[in-house]
Structure 1
Amino acid sequence: MNRAARGVGELRAVLFDMDGTLVETEQYWGEAMFELAASLGGRMSERARAATVGSTMRRSMSILHADLGLARTEEQLLADARWVEDRTAQLLGSGISWCPGARELLIAVRAAGLRSALVTTTPRRLADIVLTTIRADLGGDPFDVTICGDEVPARKPDPAPYLQAMAALGVEPAGCVVVEDSQSGVAAGLAAGAAVLGVPTVQEIPSAPGLTVRNGLGGVDVAGLADVLARGDMADASA
Protein backbone atom coordinates (compact mmCIF):
# COMPACT_ATOMS: atom_id res chain seq x y z
CA MET A 1 0.00 0.00 0.00
CA ASN A 2 1.39 3.40 -0.97
CA ARG A 3 1.13 5.94 1.84
CA ALA A 4 0.99 8.77 -0.69
CA ALA A 5 -2.27 7.34 -2.01
CA ARG A 6 -3.77 7.90 1.43
CA GLY A 7 -2.58 11.45 1.66
CA VAL A 8 -0.15 13.06 4.11
CA GLY A 9 -1.33 13.31 7.70
CA GLU A 10 -0.18 14.37 11.13
CA LEU A 11 0.88 11.81 13.69
CA ARG A 12 -2.19 10.20 15.21
CA ALA A 13 -1.12 6.75 16.36
CA VAL A 14 1.96 4.72 17.25
CA LEU A 15 1.96 0.95 16.80
CA PHE A 16 4.60 -1.00 18.71
CA ASP A 17 6.08 -4.43 18.28
CA MET A 18 6.79 -6.15 21.61
CA ASP A 19 9.72 -8.60 21.80
CA GLY A 20 13.05 -6.83 21.36
CA THR A 21 11.32 -3.50 20.70
CA LEU A 22 9.67 -2.64 24.01
CA VAL A 23 10.89 -5.42 26.28
CA GLU A 24 14.05 -7.53 26.50
CA THR A 25 12.35 -10.84 25.77
CA GLU A 26 14.05 -11.97 22.56
CA GLN A 27 16.72 -13.53 24.77
CA TYR A 28 14.09 -15.84 26.27
CA TRP A 29 12.94 -17.05 22.85
CA GLY A 30 16.57 -17.63 21.93
CA GLU A 31 17.31 -19.50 25.15
CA ALA A 32 14.30 -21.77 24.61
CA MET A 33 15.32 -22.56 21.03
CA PHE A 34 18.93 -23.27 22.03
CA GLU A 35 17.62 -25.64 24.73
CA LEU A 36 15.37 -27.39 22.22
CA ALA A 37 18.27 -27.79 19.81
CA ALA A 38 20.36 -29.36 22.57
CA SER A 39 17.56 -31.78 23.42
CA LEU A 40 17.47 -32.80 19.75
CA GLY A 41 21.19 -33.55 19.85
CA GLY A 42 22.55 -30.44 18.13
CA ARG A 43 23.44 -26.79 18.53
CA MET A 44 21.56 -23.99 16.83
CA SER A 45 23.87 -21.52 15.10
CA GLU A 46 23.77 -17.81 15.85
CA ARG A 47 23.00 -17.19 12.17
CA ALA A 48 19.93 -19.41 12.34
CA ARG A 49 18.83 -17.83 15.61
CA ALA A 50 19.03 -14.35 14.07
CA ALA A 51 16.92 -15.53 11.12
CA THR A 52 14.08 -16.50 13.49
CA VAL A 53 13.65 -13.01 14.98
CA GLY A 54 10.20 -11.62 14.28
CA SER A 55 9.16 -14.82 12.50
CA THR A 56 6.30 -17.21 13.08
CA MET A 57 6.85 -20.29 15.25
CA ARG A 58 6.36 -22.56 12.24
CA ARG A 59 9.07 -20.79 10.24
CA SER A 60 11.34 -20.58 13.30
CA MET A 61 11.08 -24.33 13.84
CA SER A 62 11.75 -24.97 10.15
CA ILE A 63 14.88 -22.79 10.38
CA LEU A 64 16.03 -24.59 13.53
CA HIS A 65 15.44 -28.06 12.05
CA ALA A 66 17.23 -27.16 8.81
CA ASP A 67 20.14 -25.73 10.79
CA LEU A 68 20.46 -29.01 12.67
CA GLY A 69 20.02 -31.09 9.52
CA LEU A 70 16.91 -32.76 10.91
CA ALA A 71 13.82 -33.96 9.09
CA ARG A 72 10.79 -33.59 11.37
CA THR A 73 7.18 -34.59 10.75
CA GLU A 74 4.38 -32.03 10.97
CA GLU A 75 3.39 -33.49 14.33
CA GLN A 76 6.95 -33.19 15.62
CA LEU A 77 7.26 -29.62 14.34
CA LEU A 78 4.11 -28.60 16.18
CA ALA A 79 5.29 -30.36 19.34
CA ASP A 80 8.63 -28.55 19.15
CA ALA A 81 6.88 -25.20 18.68
CA ARG A 82 4.67 -25.86 21.68
CA TRP A 83 7.71 -26.80 23.77
CA VAL A 84 9.46 -23.54 22.86
CA GLU A 85 6.34 -21.52 23.70
CA ASP A 86 5.92 -23.28 27.05
CA ARG A 87 9.59 -22.85 27.95
CA THR A 88 9.49 -19.18 26.95
CA ALA A 89 6.42 -18.68 29.14
CA GLN A 90 8.41 -20.08 32.08
CA LEU A 91 11.30 -17.74 31.37
CA LEU A 92 8.99 -14.73 31.02
CA GLY A 93 7.67 -15.49 34.49
CA SER A 94 11.18 -15.01 35.91
CA GLY A 95 11.17 -11.30 35.08
CA ILE A 96 10.89 -8.84 32.20
CA SER A 97 13.04 -5.77 31.53
CA TRP A 98 12.29 -2.73 29.39
CA CYS A 99 14.39 -1.99 26.34
CA PRO A 100 16.23 1.32 26.94
CA GLY A 101 13.94 4.27 26.27
CA ALA A 102 10.82 2.17 25.67
CA ARG A 103 9.06 2.92 28.95
CA GLU A 104 9.66 6.65 28.61
CA LEU A 105 8.40 6.65 25.02
CA LEU A 106 5.18 4.81 25.91
CA ILE A 107 4.49 7.34 28.66
CA ALA A 108 5.17 10.23 26.30
CA VAL A 109 2.88 8.81 23.61
CA ARG A 110 0.03 8.52 26.09
CA ALA A 111 0.67 11.98 27.53
CA ALA A 112 0.48 13.44 24.02
CA GLY A 113 -2.99 11.96 23.54
CA LEU A 114 -1.92 9.73 20.67
CA ARG A 115 -3.60 6.41 19.97
CA SER A 116 -1.40 3.37 20.56
CA ALA A 117 -1.37 -0.35 19.83
CA LEU A 118 0.74 -3.38 20.60
CA VAL A 119 1.12 -5.59 17.52
CA THR A 120 3.07 -8.77 18.16
CA THR A 121 3.61 -12.15 16.53
CA THR A 122 3.71 -13.67 20.02
CA PRO A 123 0.55 -15.65 20.90
CA ARG A 124 -1.90 -14.13 23.36
CA ARG A 125 -1.11 -16.49 26.24
CA LEU A 126 2.52 -15.34 26.28
CA ALA A 127 1.84 -11.70 25.41
CA ASP A 128 -0.49 -11.44 28.39
CA ILE A 129 2.39 -12.33 30.72
CA VAL A 130 4.32 -9.35 29.38
CA LEU A 131 1.27 -7.08 29.35
CA THR A 132 0.55 -7.84 33.01
CA THR A 133 4.06 -6.67 33.93
CA ILE A 134 3.83 -3.57 31.73
CA ARG A 135 0.45 -2.55 33.15
CA ALA A 136 1.63 -3.06 36.73
CA ASP A 137 4.75 -0.97 36.12
CA LEU A 138 2.91 1.88 34.40
CA GLY A 139 -0.15 1.81 36.65
CA GLY A 140 -2.49 1.16 33.74
CA ASP A 141 -2.70 -0.02 30.17
CA PRO A 142 -0.65 2.10 27.73
CA PHE A 143 -2.34 0.51 24.71
CA ASP A 144 -5.75 1.18 23.21
CA VAL A 145 -5.50 -2.05 21.22
CA THR A 146 -3.43 -5.23 21.47
CA ILE A 147 -3.13 -7.61 18.51
CA CYS A 148 -1.40 -10.98 18.96
CA GLY A 149 -0.08 -13.52 16.50
CA ASP A 150 -2.93 -15.96 17.02
CA GLU A 151 -5.58 -13.28 16.42
CA VAL A 152 -4.82 -12.33 12.81
CA PRO A 153 -5.51 -13.91 9.39
CA ALA A 154 -1.80 -13.68 8.46
CA ARG A 155 1.34 -12.83 10.39
CA LYS A 156 4.22 -10.45 9.75
CA PRO A 157 5.67 -9.74 7.19
CA ASP A 158 2.09 -9.67 5.91
CA PRO A 159 0.55 -6.24 6.66
CA ALA A 160 -2.60 -7.86 8.12
CA PRO A 161 -1.67 -7.41 11.83
CA TYR A 162 -0.98 -3.70 11.42
CA LEU A 163 -4.00 -3.11 9.19
CA GLN A 164 -6.15 -4.86 11.81
CA ALA A 165 -4.74 -2.66 14.54
CA MET A 166 -5.26 0.52 12.51
CA ALA A 167 -8.87 -0.43 11.83
CA ALA A 168 -9.45 -1.08 15.53
CA LEU A 169 -7.89 2.29 16.41
CA GLY A 170 -9.90 4.09 13.73
CA VAL A 171 -6.83 5.66 12.13
CA GLU A 172 -5.46 5.82 8.60
CA PRO A 173 -1.96 4.51 7.75
CA ALA A 174 -0.78 8.00 6.74
CA GLY A 175 -1.07 9.10 10.37
CA CYS A 176 0.74 6.09 11.86
CA VAL A 177 4.28 5.26 12.89
CA VAL A 178 5.20 1.62 13.45
CA VAL A 179 8.10 0.80 15.80
CA GLU A 180 9.85 -2.50 15.03
CA ASP A 181 13.12 -4.36 15.60
CA SER A 182 12.91 -7.10 12.93
CA GLN A 183 12.98 -7.32 9.15
CA SER A 184 9.59 -9.02 9.00
CA GLY A 185 8.02 -6.42 11.28
CA VAL A 186 9.45 -3.53 9.29
CA ALA A 187 8.18 -5.11 6.07
CA ALA A 188 4.71 -5.52 7.60
CA GLY A 189 4.57 -1.90 8.76
CA LEU A 190 5.69 -0.52 5.41
CA ALA A 191 3.29 -2.78 3.51
CA ALA A 192 0.47 -1.52 5.73
CA GLY A 193 1.23 2.02 4.57
CA ALA A 194 2.80 3.38 7.78
CA ALA A 195 6.10 5.13 8.32
CA VAL A 196 8.40 2.84 10.29
CA LEU A 197 11.02 3.41 12.96
CA GLY A 198 13.41 0.45 12.95
CA VAL A 199 15.40 -0.26 16.12
CA PRO A 200 17.39 -3.40 15.22
CA THR A 201 18.69 -5.69 17.94
CA VAL A 202 19.56 -9.18 16.68
CA GLN A 203 18.88 -8.60 12.96
CA GLU A 204 20.22 -5.92 10.66
CA ILE A 205 17.49 -3.88 8.98
CA PRO A 206 18.24 -2.80 5.39
CA SER A 207 17.23 0.69 4.31
CA ALA A 208 13.90 1.20 2.56
CA PRO A 209 11.64 4.11 1.56
CA GLY A 210 9.50 5.14 4.53
CA LEU A 211 11.92 3.60 7.06
CA THR A 212 14.02 5.44 9.64
CA VAL A 213 16.59 3.35 11.51
CA ARG A 214 17.93 4.25 14.94
CA ASN A 215 20.16 2.47 17.41
CA GLY A 216 17.49 1.94 20.06
CA LEU A 217 14.68 4.02 21.56
CA GLY A 218 16.83 5.95 24.00
CA GLY A 219 16.14 9.66 23.50
CA VAL A 220 13.23 9.08 21.10
CA ASP A 221 10.23 11.26 21.96
CA VAL A 222 6.95 12.24 20.30
CA ALA A 223 8.70 14.92 18.25
CA GLY A 224 11.09 12.24 17.01
CA LEU A 225 8.18 10.04 15.99
CA ALA A 226 6.61 12.97 14.13
CA ASP A 227 9.92 13.36 12.31
CA VAL A 228 9.80 9.66 11.33
CA LEU A 229 6.34 10.26 9.88
CA ALA A 230 7.55 13.32 7.97
CA ARG A 231 10.52 11.37 6.58
CA GLY A 232 8.12 8.68 5.45
CA ASP A 233 5.97 11.28 3.69
CA MET A 234 9.01 12.69 1.91
CA ALA A 235 10.07 9.21 0.81
CA ASP A 236 6.63 8.59 -0.68
CA ALA A 237 6.62 11.94 -2.42
CA SER A 238 9.95 11.16 -4.12
CA ALA A 239 9.00 7.59 -5.09
Structure 2
Amino acid sequence: MPVEPVGGRTAPPAPQLRAVLFDMDGTLVQTEEYWGEAMFELADALGGQMSTEARAATVGTSMRHSMQVLYADLGVVRTEEQLQADARRVEDRTGELMATAGIPWRPGARDLLADVRAAGLATALVTTTPRRLADIVLASITADLGADPFDVTVCGDEVPARKPDPAPYLQAATALGADVLSCVVVEDSLVGVTSGLAAGMAVLGVPALQPVPPARGLTLRDSLAEIGAPELAAVLAAGPAMENVGR
Protein backbone atom coordinates (compact mmCIF):
# COMPACT_ATOMS: atom_id res chain seq x y z
CA MET A 1 0.00 0.00 0.00
CA PRO A 2 1.50 3.38 -0.95
CA VAL A 3 2.34 5.87 1.77
CA GLU A 4 0.38 9.11 1.45
CA PRO A 5 2.40 12.34 1.49
CA VAL A 6 1.67 14.52 4.53
CA GLY A 7 2.59 18.19 4.61
CA GLY A 8 4.64 17.88 1.43
CA ARG A 9 6.67 14.98 2.86
CA THR A 10 6.29 11.24 2.73
CA ALA A 11 4.96 9.97 6.03
CA PRO A 12 6.92 7.11 7.59
CA PRO A 13 5.12 3.77 7.52
CA ALA A 14 3.34 2.75 10.69
CA PRO A 15 5.35 0.20 12.72
CA GLN A 16 4.24 -3.40 12.57
CA LEU A 17 3.57 -5.44 15.69
CA ARG A 18 6.64 -7.59 16.37
CA ALA A 19 6.55 -8.42 20.08
CA VAL A 20 4.11 -8.71 22.98
CA LEU A 21 5.38 -8.22 26.53
CA PHE A 22 3.18 -9.65 29.26
CA ASP A 23 2.94 -8.92 32.96
CA MET A 24 2.25 -12.02 35.07
CA ASP A 25 0.35 -11.67 38.38
CA GLY A 26 -3.15 -10.33 37.80
CA THR A 27 -2.66 -10.13 34.03
CA LEU A 28 -2.08 -13.67 32.80
CA VAL A 29 -2.79 -15.59 35.99
CA GLN A 30 -4.93 -15.08 39.08
CA THR A 31 -2.09 -15.11 41.58
CA GLU A 32 -2.40 -11.53 42.78
CA GLU A 33 -4.95 -12.76 45.32
CA TYR A 34 -2.27 -15.00 46.85
CA TRP A 35 -0.02 -12.00 47.43
CA GLY A 36 -2.97 -10.28 49.10
CA GLU A 37 -3.68 -13.24 51.35
CA ALA A 38 -0.04 -13.37 52.43
CA MET A 39 -0.05 -9.62 53.13
CA PHE A 40 -3.22 -9.85 55.21
CA GLU A 41 -1.69 -12.71 57.21
CA LEU A 42 1.44 -10.66 57.89
CA ALA A 43 -0.69 -7.71 59.02
CA ASP A 44 -2.49 -10.00 61.46
CA ALA A 45 0.85 -11.26 62.80
CA LEU A 46 1.92 -7.64 63.35
CA GLY A 47 -1.21 -7.02 65.41
CA GLY A 48 -3.29 -5.12 62.89
CA GLN A 49 -5.55 -5.39 59.88
CA MET A 50 -4.53 -4.19 56.44
CA SER A 51 -7.10 -1.96 54.76
CA THR A 52 -8.40 -2.77 51.30
CA GLU A 53 -7.11 0.63 50.14
CA ALA A 54 -3.59 -0.18 51.31
CA ARG A 55 -3.75 -3.60 49.69
CA ALA A 56 -4.77 -2.03 46.38
CA ALA A 57 -1.81 0.35 46.64
CA THR A 58 0.61 -2.60 46.73
CA VAL A 59 -0.62 -4.29 43.53
CA GLY A 60 2.22 -4.74 41.05
CA THR A 61 4.79 -3.02 43.25
CA SER A 62 8.07 -4.18 44.77
CA MET A 63 8.14 -5.97 48.13
CA ARG A 64 9.93 -3.01 49.72
CA HIS A 65 7.19 -0.62 48.62
CA SER A 66 4.51 -3.10 49.70
CA MET A 67 6.04 -3.40 53.16
CA GLN A 68 6.26 0.37 53.52
CA VAL A 69 2.59 0.72 52.54
CA LEU A 70 1.62 -1.99 55.04
CA TYR A 71 3.62 -0.44 57.89
CA ALA A 72 2.13 3.01 57.25
CA ASP A 73 -1.36 1.48 57.15
CA LEU A 74 -0.83 -0.30 60.47
CA GLY A 75 1.08 2.53 62.08
CA VAL A 76 4.06 0.34 62.95
CA VAL A 77 7.79 0.92 62.63
CA ARG A 78 10.07 -1.92 61.53
CA THR A 79 13.83 -2.10 61.14
CA GLU A 80 15.50 -2.88 57.83
CA GLU A 81 16.23 -6.39 59.08
CA GLN A 82 12.59 -6.86 60.04
CA LEU A 83 11.44 -5.53 56.67
CA GLN A 84 13.61 -8.08 54.89
CA ALA A 85 12.23 -10.87 57.07
CA ASP A 86 8.63 -9.72 56.52
CA ALA A 87 9.13 -9.57 52.76
CA ARG A 88 10.60 -13.06 52.75
CA ARG A 89 7.65 -14.31 54.79
CA VAL A 90 5.17 -12.89 52.27
CA GLU A 91 7.10 -14.37 49.35
CA ASP A 92 7.35 -17.78 51.00
CA ARG A 93 3.65 -17.83 51.85
CA THR A 94 2.72 -16.76 48.33
CA GLY A 95 4.88 -19.54 46.93
CA GLU A 96 3.09 -22.05 49.17
CA LEU A 97 -0.30 -20.88 47.93
CA MET A 98 0.84 -21.07 44.31
CA ALA A 99 2.07 -24.62 44.80
CA THR A 100 -0.97 -25.90 46.70
CA ALA A 101 -3.97 -23.87 45.54
CA GLY A 102 -3.13 -23.90 41.84
CA ILE A 103 -2.52 -21.16 39.30
CA PRO A 104 -5.69 -20.28 37.37
CA TRP A 105 -5.63 -18.22 34.19
CA ARG A 106 -7.15 -14.77 33.94
CA PRO A 107 -10.11 -14.73 31.50
CA GLY A 108 -8.88 -14.89 27.91
CA ALA A 109 -5.20 -15.06 28.83
CA ARG A 110 -4.55 -18.62 27.70
CA ASP A 111 -6.19 -18.10 24.31
CA LEU A 112 -4.34 -14.82 23.82
CA LEU A 113 -0.95 -16.39 24.49
CA ALA A 114 -1.70 -19.23 22.09
CA ASP A 115 -2.87 -16.79 19.41
CA VAL A 116 0.18 -14.57 19.79
CA ARG A 117 2.49 -17.54 19.38
CA ALA A 118 0.53 -18.84 16.40
CA ALA A 119 0.90 -15.40 14.77
CA GLY A 120 4.70 -15.72 15.02
CA LEU A 121 5.13 -12.77 17.38
CA ALA A 122 7.99 -12.58 19.85
CA THR A 123 6.96 -12.78 23.51
CA ALA A 124 8.35 -11.81 26.88
CA LEU A 125 7.18 -12.22 30.46
CA VAL A 126 8.03 -9.12 32.50
CA THR A 127 7.19 -9.43 36.18
CA THR A 128 8.09 -7.78 39.48
CA THR A 129 7.87 -11.24 41.07
CA PRO A 130 11.27 -12.75 41.96
CA ARG A 131 12.59 -15.60 39.84
CA ARG A 132 12.02 -18.32 42.45
CA LEU A 133 8.27 -17.65 42.46
CA ALA A 134 7.94 -16.78 38.79
CA ASP A 135 9.37 -20.19 37.95
CA ILE A 136 6.44 -21.83 39.75
CA VAL A 137 4.01 -19.96 37.52
CA LEU A 138 6.09 -20.58 34.41
CA ALA A 139 6.10 -24.32 35.11
CA SER A 140 2.30 -24.29 35.40
CA ILE A 141 1.84 -22.27 32.20
CA THR A 142 4.29 -24.45 30.27
CA ALA A 143 2.61 -27.65 31.46
CA ASP A 144 -0.80 -26.35 30.39
CA LEU A 145 0.29 -25.09 26.96
CA GLY A 146 2.72 -27.95 26.28
CA ALA A 147 5.62 -25.57 25.67
CA ASP A 148 7.14 -22.43 27.17
CA PRO A 149 5.34 -19.57 25.38
CA PHE A 150 7.95 -16.93 26.22
CA ASP A 151 11.13 -16.12 24.30
CA VAL A 152 12.40 -13.99 27.20
CA THR A 153 11.57 -13.81 30.91
CA VAL A 154 12.52 -10.81 33.05
CA CYS A 155 11.90 -11.06 36.81
CA GLY A 156 11.94 -8.47 39.56
CA ASP A 157 15.29 -9.56 40.96
CA GLU A 158 16.95 -9.40 37.52
CA VAL A 159 16.56 -5.71 36.70
CA PRO A 160 18.37 -2.50 37.77
CA ALA A 161 15.04 -0.89 38.71
CA ARG A 162 11.52 -2.24 39.12
CA LYS A 163 8.23 -1.02 37.71
CA PRO A 164 7.09 1.79 37.42
CA ASP A 165 10.60 2.43 36.09
CA PRO A 166 10.81 1.55 32.36
CA ALA A 167 13.90 -0.61 32.93
CA PRO A 168 12.13 -4.02 33.00
CA TYR A 169 10.35 -3.49 29.69
CA LEU A 170 13.38 -1.93 28.04
CA GLN A 171 15.47 -4.90 29.18
CA ALA A 172 12.96 -7.33 27.70
CA ALA A 173 12.77 -5.46 24.38
CA THR A 174 16.56 -5.43 24.13
CA ALA A 175 16.72 -9.15 24.83
CA LEU A 176 14.13 -9.75 22.10
CA GLY A 177 15.92 -7.44 19.68
CA ALA A 178 12.66 -5.53 19.23
CA ASP A 179 12.17 -1.80 18.67
CA VAL A 180 10.01 -0.37 21.44
CA LEU A 181 7.68 1.11 18.83
CA SER A 182 6.90 -2.41 17.58
CA CYS A 183 6.02 -3.72 21.05
CA VAL A 184 2.74 -3.96 22.94
CA VAL A 185 2.72 -4.34 26.73
CA VAL A 186 -0.15 -6.17 28.45
CA GLU A 187 -0.64 -5.08 32.07
CA ASP A 188 -3.20 -4.93 34.88
CA SER A 189 -1.61 -2.56 37.42
CA LEU A 190 -0.97 1.17 37.41
CA VAL A 191 2.75 0.73 38.07
CA GLY A 192 2.99 -1.77 35.23
CA VAL A 193 1.11 0.46 32.80
CA THR A 194 3.33 3.37 33.84
CA SER A 195 6.44 1.26 33.23
CA GLY A 196 5.33 0.23 29.75
CA LEU A 197 4.35 3.75 28.71
CA ALA A 198 7.61 5.16 30.10
CA ALA A 199 9.47 2.64 27.93
CA GLY A 200 7.78 4.19 24.89
CA MET A 201 5.54 1.21 24.19
CA ALA A 202 1.84 0.92 23.45
CA VAL A 203 0.01 -0.63 26.40
CA LEU A 204 -3.14 -2.73 26.73
CA GLY A 205 -4.44 -2.29 30.26
CA VAL A 206 -6.80 -4.81 31.86
CA PRO A 207 -7.27 -3.49 35.42
CA ALA A 208 -8.29 -6.04 38.02
CA LEU A 209 -7.71 -4.97 41.63
CA GLN A 210 -7.05 -1.25 41.18
CA PRO A 211 -8.26 1.46 38.78
CA VAL A 212 -6.00 2.60 35.93
CA PRO A 213 -6.78 6.07 34.54
CA PRO A 214 -6.73 6.78 30.80
CA ALA A 215 -3.42 7.87 29.32
CA ARG A 216 -1.91 8.54 25.91
CA GLY A 217 -0.69 5.29 24.41
CA LEU A 218 -2.93 3.21 26.68
CA THR A 219 -5.90 1.11 25.54
CA LEU A 220 -8.15 -0.09 28.36
CA ARG A 221 -10.26 -3.26 28.28
CA ASP A 222 -12.28 -5.10 30.93
CA SER A 223 -10.45 -8.39 30.29
CA LEU A 224 -8.37 -10.32 27.77
CA ALA A 225 -11.41 -12.25 26.57
CA GLU A 226 -11.79 -12.03 22.79
CA ILE A 227 -8.39 -10.32 22.48
CA GLY A 228 -6.00 -11.75 19.90
CA ALA A 229 -3.11 -10.69 17.70
CA PRO A 230 -5.32 -8.44 15.49
CA GLU A 231 -6.62 -6.56 18.54
CA LEU A 232 -3.05 -6.10 19.81
CA ALA A 233 -2.07 -4.70 16.41
CA ALA A 234 -4.89 -2.18 16.87
CA VAL A 235 -3.46 -1.27 20.29
CA LEU A 236 -0.10 -0.63 18.64
CA ALA A 237 -1.75 1.50 15.96
CA ALA A 238 -3.26 3.69 18.69
CA GLY A 239 0.01 3.91 20.63
CA PRO A 240 3.06 6.19 20.80
CA ALA A 241 4.41 5.14 17.38
CA MET A 242 1.58 6.97 15.62
CA GLU A 243 2.57 10.29 17.18
CA ASN A 244 5.52 10.45 14.82
CA VAL A 245 3.55 9.62 11.68
CA GLY A 246 3.00 12.71 9.56
CA ARG A 247 5.49 14.88 11.41
TM over 0.5: yes
Query: For 2:147, which of 140, 148, 161 is the aligned residue?
Result: 140
Cα distance between partner residues in 2 of 1:135 and 1:83? 27
Query: Contact (CA 8 Å) 2:14, 2:241: kept in 1 or not?
Result: no
Q: Which amino acid aligns with 1:183?
A: L
Over the matched positions of the two proteins, sequence identity in percent amounts to 68
Pair 1:197-2:197 in alignment: no
Aligned to 2:3: none
- SS where residue 20 of structure 2 aligns? strand
Matched, 1:227 2:234: yes
Residue 3 of structure 1 is matched in structure 2 by none
Correspondence 1:213 to 2:216:
no
1:129 to 136, 141, 155: 136
Secondary structure of the residue that 1:15 maps to in structure 2?
strand
- Counterpart residue number, 2:127: 120
Provide the secondary structure at the position in 2 that maps to 1:85. helix
Output the CA distance in 1 between the equivalents of 2:13 and 2:170. 16
Deviation of 1:190 after TM superposition, in Å, equals: 0.5
Q: Deviations over 1:122-145 (max 9, x none)?
A: 000000000000000000000000
Structure 1: distance between partners of 2:24 and 2:240: 25
Aligned residue among 32, 36, 45 for 1:26: 32
Q: Aligned pair in 2 of structure 1 residues 163, 76: CA closer, same or farther (>3 Å)?
A: same
- 1:89-141, Cα deviation, whole Å (9 max, x unpaired): 00000211000000000000000000000000000000000000000000000
What SS does the corresponding residue of 1:14 show, helix, strand or coil? strand
Distance 1:161 1:192 in 2: 9
Quote the Cα distance in structure 2 between the aligned partners of 1:232 and 1:131: 29
**Does the 8 Å contact 2:35/2:94 carry over to 1?**
yes
Q: What code does the residue aligned with 1:81 have?
A: A
Write the distance in 2 (CA, Å) between the matches of 1:70 and 1:128: 33
1:83-94 → structure 2 map (5 Å cutoff) = 83-94=89-100
CA distance in 2, matches of 1:106, 1:236: 28
Q: 2-side partners of 1:159 and 1:23: how far apart?
A: 22
Tell me the secondary structure at the aligned position of residue 28 of structure 1: helix
TM-score (norm 1): 0.95
Partners of 1:143 and 1:202 in 2: CA distance: 25
- Residue 238 of structure 2 aligns to a residue whose secondary structure is helix
CA distance in 2, matches of 1:38, 1:229: 44
Letter matched to residue 88 of structure 1: T
Partner-residue secondary structure (3-state), 1:137: helix
Deviations 1:124-174 (A, max 9, x none): 000000000000000000000000000000000000000000000000001
2:2 matches 1:15: no
Task: Quote how far apart the aligned CAs of 1:8 are.
Answer: 3.9
Task: Kindly name which structure, 1 or 2, has the bigger radius of gyration based on alpha carbons.
Answer: 2
- 2:165 corresponds, among 151, 158, 170, to 158
Question: 1:234: Cα distance to partner?
Answer: 7.0
Provide the C-alpha distance between the structure 1 equivalents of 2:240 and 2:34, rounded to a whole number of angstroms. Answer: 36
Q: Give the corresponding residue for 2:42.
A: 36
User: In 1, distance between residues paired with 2:197 and 2:73?
Assistant: 30
Whether 1:51 and 2:96 are equivalent positions in the alignment is no
Check the 8 A contact 2:152/2:172 in 1, yes or no: yes
Alignment pair present for 1:106 and 2:149: no
Gaps of 5+ in 1: 1-5
TM-score by length of 2: 0.92
Q: How far apart, CA to CA, are the structure 2 residues paired with 1:61 and 1:140?
A: 35
